Structure 1
Amino acid sequence: MENTMKGMRDGASVLDLDPKSSVGGGVEDAYGEDCATEDQLVTPWTISVASGYSLMRDPRHNKGLAFAEKERDAHYLRGLLPPIVVTQDLQEKKLMHSLRQYEVPLQKYVAMMDLQERNERLFYKLLVDNVEELLPVVYTPTVGEACQKYGSIFRRPQGLYISLKEKGKVLEVLKNWPQKRIQVIVVTDGERILGLGDLGCQGMGIPVGKLALYTALGGLRPSSCLPVTIDVGTNNEKLLKDEFYIGLRQKRATGQEYADLLHEFMRAAKQNYGEKVLIQFEDFANHNAFELLARYGTTHLVFNDDIQGTAAVVLAGIVAALKLVVGTLAEQTFLFLGAGEAGTGIAELIALEMSKQAKTPVEETRKKIWLVDSKGLIVSSRKESLQHFKKPWAHEHEPVKDLLGAIKVIKPTVLIGSSGVGKTFTKEVVEAMASFNEKPIILALSNPTSQSECTAEEAYTWSKGRAIFASGSPFDPVEYNGKVFIPGQSNNAYIFPGFGLGLVMSGAIRVHDEMLLAASEALARQVTKEQFDKGLIYPPFSSIRKISAQIAANVAAKAYELGVATQLPRPENLVKYAESCMYSPLYRTYR
């Protein structure tokens, strides 16, 4: 009581959070947020925060015009707001109306980021309730343009910037972040942002966007999420000459200097946040992405969304698509355009799932999967010159110089684009696929939209309405010969939020491939007969929180089975437990 009185004398207000206003059934933490994933399940109800004018500038507790009359009296807000009291639903309606007035997607992005800085719960309520409309705004494709122009639209820091200037002080930098109980870190070095290349420090838009989706789609608390950009310079000459560029103005560091800074960061993150903090690598260039995953996969809880998340969501789409075509997974033949981290990651997970289903060695199942890179079909005669991650895919075959030639000789049932190069699935390519497949599966996965290997309209038109199509970026429904086709979006947002929730709620300390397969299988099971009838191979994003709960439960179950879960005892019903863990964006009542 004495501390409470002192806080009030110092201009602080006591927020006594009403437990009955909690939504979602989760255990509350000291901040009044759903927190069933934490170790301590009994926490105090009363916390001190700033009052009055300062309270309205605290995005975590600000409710704007939704502060009730009693709250305005109790927390020194009387007169600081207009007299009207509105509901959160009305606030949402007003903001969605305003957002829809913008014609330029980047304007919508900036407006959403401003809202996140002003009123956190309202931001997430908009995102949860309007996920299909706002997902392309806060993430792909708009986030790509936002990263390109990040220096010009930069308002205030939304994450931690760790540059070469901070070498030797990374632990101190992590301690500068106000939240101490971090569960998920998304980190990038900005070298390969989507299909846009090296954007240096301006890649921060990616971790910020990913973590917004971790909360909205997977239910992790915003306060437990930390976006990080490692700035080692950029090789982008245009940015280095841009007066508004916010990063180090030097060529990108490589070799030992680069490895030392990354190692210091990884060590400091584990030291500061513990063994169970999930570190997600995002948009690293191929040569670093595989190395980092291999180096830290045995010592940290790490996940690379470009390699593993993409693989899991694509595998789920293929498993679902098999209900529309004849044959098992092991009976399909796969051809990839693109042999980078996404392509080889997808290929390996498909091979693992084939091996599991057919009970044959993965070395055998890999032979059903072929990759084409910039030099043509990857074959054994090229093995000596290949990067290490391409070598498992170098099969015995005559050299083939281009994609169309490879299709004609390999005769794949599934064509997957992960090249980052737009317009590469030409009319001839799609027609060739349709010439020997009743229902060719064509996945044009590269982002953003401009880099997609083909559009939905092209895939359906050139295949005469027979293609089963999905893409990385969203496309509108297509009408062909009087039938409406709804293209699926093979978006990583289906997988990583639920996958992360499963790791956190089970207290997992390592990621295993079996967990990725468990996530894929859970997603594929969510597609209904009605959705299959429309040609869909992914469920609608409108039910993403339910989908994420199913994925989280499957991943957690696998973590317990593998003996890497530390949250004991294991909950009896993992789906209900996952739902109870999810952050609710509804306002709390302050007593």
Structure 2
Amino acid sequence: MPPHVGTLEAQIERRRRALDALPDDFHRYIFLRELQDSNEILFQALVQSDLPHMLPLVYTPTVGEGCRRFSEIWRKARGLFISWPNRDRIEHMLANPAFDRVKVIVVSDGERILGLGDQGAGGMGIPIGKLALYTACAGIHPGEVLPILLDAGTDNAALRDDPLYVGWRHARVRGEDYDGFVDQFVEVVAQRWPHVVLQWEDFAGANAWKLLDRYRTMLPSFNDDIQGTAATAVGTLMAAVRRVGSPLQDQRIVMFGFGAAGAGIADLLVRAMVEDGASEAQARAAIWPVDCMGLVMAGQDGLSPAQRRYARRAQDIASWGCASDAAPSLAQVVRHVGATVLVGTSGQPGAFSEEVIRAMASGTAQPIVFPLSNPISHCEAHPVDVQAWSEGRAIIGTGSPFAVEGITQVNNVYVFPGLGLGVLAARASQVTDEMFLAAARTIAGMNSNGPLLPPIERLRDVALEVACAVSQGAGGPDRAEIAAVMWQAQYQGGPIRL
């Protein structure tokens, strides 16, 4: 060994130089994943030293490619893969003493990864990335988090045929067998860790709602795609309407892509408007849901319970003069409603066309446009185009990061780390809708000038403030106590490897 004794700061600089020398973000993602597996303290110290630079590499948008090519870049096991053939061994697998300290679990079945669809076992990239941010932003010790992939097979034939694929090579298990598989998992988790925070990630729409409703009272459990997205979008929208100078309940909100995420945003918007004084009927009337077939109308086949809550009736559009045999298009809805807010969670690139944005800008001085779909290739509109088509008047929030001045990234990382920390601090038995609304109001009030949300470098402060709001609402400890338990990436008594 050389005689030099390196500080953590010197190690960060050495790794940063190596990272910057790589040819593209995907190779930087691989570099960081390998560093995480070899020296977690150094990995976290590097990430926390430059969150604006590191966040897109650790999570969106680069994690999408990481999931798609997960088997190709596989080096070392991280987290826990629970496959259908091992369903009778779940209790034994989770009993591993290495997991005794676990406080937060992020679990996926890989069926709906971002806008990329079924990635099977490659979906493990999402829990790994999310939990890295729990540590970086909320100070949850890396030994207290556990990423899990429930491998029920995949309907992605290309993956099943790939000789490098690391998952179970079988079509997806569905129906009662799938439900029983998840039941077994949750029952063991609840017995093993009664107070663990269980976060569901990237389950397909029908399963996402079903699992949320079934297990949210069994243990502190939430779905980030539904509830975390909702809290972040609603909080950012609160900040936007404050800038416009009109109340939330006075907005005319068109939501394009009304699956799990869209309906979750709508539900939290209604709760926020009711809390601000509107009736529930008034709040629901402010929201116009649109999917790829057009305006969601009552009586359409295949509507989910969430979609039926917001479906419009024939009398709502009687004066529009639209053809009776087809639902009005997005552009028609925007024009006839006089939309002031447009939110996209559709995963359909280019859906917010020039026609749509110009129609919106013609009816309101400052249109609020949130194309939230991830990754960038699935975003409903590029913010530069929205700026041009609105003549620079639009207030824009995107789900993916864009190097465009004045654009806010509406990223769930503003909510879920702090929410989890607050739930743990309060030892809450459930994650409630009130907690998500408290988180939304917290992030909405943290930045008065410039972008709608605080800068990325303040994410640790954001997590602490969200945790305080959640904890105090549940009768938990105050800010000082929560801040005292947030883990810092530093060596104790010399370099060590976790």
Please give the TM-score of this superposition, normalised by the length of structure 1.
0.81
Deviation (angstroms), 1:528: 2.7
Deviation (angstroms), 1:177: 6.1
> Aligned residue for 1:421?
348
1:354 corresponds to 2:294: no
Residue 494 of structure 1 aligns to which amino acid in structure 2? Answer: Y
Residue 385 of structure 2 aligns to which amino acid in structure 1? Answer: E
Deviation (angstroms), 1:379: 2.1
> Aligned residue for 1:394?
311
Q: Which runs of 4+ in 1 moved over 3 A?
A: 398-401
Q: Of 444, 466, 485, which residue of structure 2 is paired with 1:551? A: 466
Identity level (%): 38
Given that 1:369 and 1:393 are in contact with CA atoms closer than 8 Å, whether structure 2 keeps it comes out as yes
Deviation (angstroms), 1:590: 4.9
How is 1:554-573 mapped onto 2 (pairs within 5 angstroms)?
A: 554-560=469-475, 570-571=476-477
How is 1:8-19 mapped onto 2 (pairs within 5 angstroms)?
A: none
Instruction: Please identify the structure whose Cα radius of gyration is greater.
Output: 1
Deviation (angstroms), 1:586: 1.7
> Aligned residue for 1:237?
157
> Aligned residue for 2:286?
368
Q: Of 366, 375, 378, which residue of structure 1 is paired with 2:296? A: 378
Aligned residue for 1:168, secondary structure, equals: helix
Deviation (angstroms), 1:260: 0.7
Residue 576 of structure 1 aligns to which amino acid in structure 2? Answer: A
1:255 corresponds to 2:172: no
Deviation (angstroms), 1:380: 2.4
> Aligned residue for 2:411?
491
1:305 corresponds to 2:224: yes
How is 1:474-485 mapped onto 2 (pairs within 5 angstroms)?
A: 474-477=401-404, 485=405
Deviation (angstroms), 1:576: 2.0
Q: Of 379, 393, 398, which residue of structure 2 is paired with 1:452? A: 379
Q: In structure 2, what is the Cα distance between the partners aligned to 1:166 and 1:154?
A: 21
> Aligned residue for 1:470?
397
Q: In structure 1, what is the Cα distance between the partners aligned to 2:462 and 2:87?
A: 41
1:588 corresponds to 2:485: no
Structure 1 residues 486, 177: CA separation in 2 closer, same or farther (over 3 Å shift)?
Answer: farther
Q: Of 214, 226, 241, which residue of structure 1 is paired with 2:146? A: 226
Aligned residue for 1:229, secondary structure, equals: strand
How is 1:178-257 mapped onto 2 (pairs within 5 angstroms)?
A: 178-257=98-177
Deviations 1:140-194 (CA, angstroms, capped at 9, x unpaired): 1110001111111001111100011111211101123613121110000000000
Q: Of 104, 117, 125, which residue of structure 1 is paired with 2:24? A: 104
1:405 corresponds to 2:320: no
Deviation (angstroms), 1:359: 4.7
How is 1:1-12 mapped onto 2 (pairs within 5 angstroms)?
A: none
> Aligned residue for 2:366?
439
Aligned residue for 1:251, secondary structure, equals: coil
Deviations 1:536-566 (CA, angstroms, capped at 9, x unpaired): 1111011111111000000011112xxxxxx
> Aligned residue for 1:461?
388
> Aligned residue for 2:88?
168
Q: In structure 2, what is the Cα distance between the partners aligned to 1:400 and 1:232?
A: 36
Q: In structure 1, what is the Cα distance between the partners aligned to 2:213 and 2:257?
A: 21
Aligned residue for 1:371, secondary structure, equals: strand
Deviation (angstroms), 1:401: 3.2
Given that 1:400 and 1:406 are in contact with CA atoms closer than 8 Å, whether structure 2 keeps it comes out as no
Structure 1 residues 381, 340: CA separation in 2 closer, same or farther (over 3 Å shift)?
Answer: same
Deviation (angstroms), 1:289: 0.4
Residue 257 of structure 2 aligns to which amino acid in structure 1? Answer: G
Mark the runs of 5 or more structure 2 residues left unpaired by the alignment: 318-325
Q: Of 502, 511, 524, which residue of structure 1 is paired with 2:422? A: 502
Given that 1:166 and 1:173 are in contact with CA atoms closer than 8 Å, whether structure 2 keeps it comes out as no
Deviations 1:476-507 (CA, angstroms, capped at 9, x unpaired): 12xxxxxxx32100000110000100001111
Q: In structure 2, what is the Cα distance between the partners aligned to 1:549 and 1:578?
A: 7
> Aligned residue for 2:322?
none
Given that 2:196 and 2:220 are in contact with CA atoms closer than 8 Å, whether structure 1 keeps it comes out as yes
Q: Of 225, 245, 249, which residue of structure 2 is paired with 1:330? A: 249
Aligned residue for 2:99, secondary structure, equals: coil
Given that 1:311 and 1:346 are in contact with CA atoms closer than 8 Å, whether structure 2 keeps it comes out as yes
> Aligned residue for 2:321?
none
1:319 corresponds to 2:253: no
Q: In structure 1, what is the Cα distance between the partners aligned to 2:127 and 2:384?
A: 31
Q: In structure 2, what is the Cα distance between the partners aligned to 1:391 and 1:469?
A: 29
Structure 1 residues 494, 471: CA separation in 2 closer, same or farther (over 3 Å shift)?
Answer: same
1:538 corresponds to 2:453: yes
Q: In structure 2, what is the Cα distance between the partners aligned to 1:509 and 1:443?
A: 33
Deviation (angstroms), 1:100: 1.0
Q: In structure 1, what is the Cα distance between the partners aligned to 2:152 and 2:176?
A: 12
| Higher mean displacement: 253-262 or 371-380 | 371-380
Given that 2:249 and 2:278 are in contact with CA atoms closer than 8 Å, whether structure 1 keeps it comes out as no
Given that 2:376 and 2:400 are in contact with CA atoms closer than 8 Å, whether structure 1 keeps it comes out as yes
Residue 304 of structure 1 aligns to which amino acid in structure 2? Answer: N
Given that 2:414 and 2:463 are in contact with CA atoms closer than 8 Å, whether structure 1 keeps it comes out as yes
Given that 2:190 and 2:218 are in contact with CA atoms closer than 8 Å, whether structure 1 keeps it comes out as no
Given that 1:192 and 1:285 are in contact with CA atoms closer than 8 Å, whether structure 2 keeps it comes out as yes
1:141 corresponds to 2:56: no
Deviation (angstroms), 1:462: 1.1
Deviations 1:402-460 (CA, angstroms, capped at 9, x unpaired): 11111111111100000011111111111111101100000010000110111111111
| Higher mean displacement: 398-407 or 248-257 | 398-407
Given that 2:226 and 2:265 are in contact with CA atoms closer than 8 Å, whether structure 1 keeps it comes out as yes
Deviations 1:207-245 (CA, angstroms, capped at 9, x unpaired): 000000000011111111000000010000111111111
> Aligned residue for 1:84?
4
Aligned residue for 1:227, secondary structure, equals: strand
Q: In structure 1, what is the Cα distance between the partners aligned to 2:494 and 2:172?
A: 49
Deviation (angstroms), 1:98: 1.2
Deviation (angstroms), 1:578: 2.1
Please give the TM-score of this superposition, normalised by the length of structure 2.
0.95
Aligned residue for 1:152, secondary structure, equals: coil
